[in-house]
A and B are shown apart, each in its own frame.
Chain A
């Protein structure tokens, strides 16, 4: 049973860079899945941030691509998110997740972390 656990600072100052890590347990990050970041502003809907494959293939939301970097560390079985120049609009619950690379459910996220709340405030 895969488990995904986000970790991060909780509070980030405006204009700084938000850094989050997702630790994957119970499953190898090199096996058959893309690894995703999704966020949800308080009381709002879901927004996809980006996805990465262990080989380094990466896709970003066009609306965030200038500020986002996603990377993977296969030796630690984890992946990370960096979001630069944050503002209050980046305050949200940040989820890490995964979706399969192939098959009928390849367009669906089948596992989610519990999320970590990031507040942007001075």
Chain B
């Protein structure tokens, strides 16, 4: 079973700053099946990035994803007020879905 570990647990930043979120897999995974979601309080998750680096429809280009093997990164180049939320990475493989525990991006 693949375990996804996200770090840090909480990221305290100011609007306009750069956010770098990490997702580490317990074994090598295909980047084709690494996804990032954003979840705001009281809302369902929203698809941000799939295939490790492809932005979903309507996702602003300040969001970018990168990585391969076991280490993946979500970068928000300049934080907007609406970006403060919880972010989850997720892997799909062998008909199983695994989520990381999430990183909270909060206003400093």
Q: Contact residues of A with B, CB < 8 Å?
A: 36, 38, 45-48, 51, 59, 61-62, 95, 99, 104-110, 112-115
Which of A45, A108, A109 is packed against the most chain B CB atoms within 10 Å? Answer: A108
**Residue of A at shortest CB range from B4?**
A45
**What are some 27 contacts across the A-B interface (CB < 8 A)?**
A45-B88, A45-B99, A46-B45, A46-B102, A47-B99, A48-B96, A48-B99, A51-B97, A61-B96, A61-B97, A62-B96, A95-B45, A99-B92, A104-B32, A104-B54, A105-B56, A106-B92, A107-B34, A107-B35, A107-B91, A107-B92, A108-B35, A108-B51, A108-B56, A109-B37, A109-B47, A110-B56
Please tell me if the beta carbons of B35 and A114 are within 8 angstroms of each other in the complex.
no
Please tell me if the beta carbons of B50 and A46 are within 8 angstroms of each other in the complex.
no
A117 CB to nearest B CB, Å: 11
A-chain residues with CB within 8 Å of residue B34 when the two chains form the complex: 107
B35 CB to nearest A CB, Å: 4
A-chain residues with CB within 8 Å of residue B102 when the two chains form the complex: 45-46
12 more contacts with CB within 8 A, not counting A48-B99, A109-B47, A110-B56, are A45-B99, A46-B37, A46-B99, A105-B47, A105-B50, A107-B32, A107-B92, A108-B35, A108-B56, A109-B37, A109-B45, A114-B44
A-chain residues with CB within 8 Å of residue B45 when the two chains form the complex: 46, 95, 109, 112
Question: In whole angstroms, what is the CA distance A108 to B54 when docked?
Answer: 11
Q: Counting CB contacts under 8 A, is B22 at the interface?
A: no
Known: A45-B102, A104-B54. Is A59-B96 also a contact (CB below 8 A)? yes
Q: Counting CB contacts under 8 A, is B101 at the interface?
A: yes
Question: In whole angstroms, what is the CA distance A106 to B54 when docked?
Answer: 13
Q: Counting CB contacts under 8 A, is B73 at the interface?
A: no
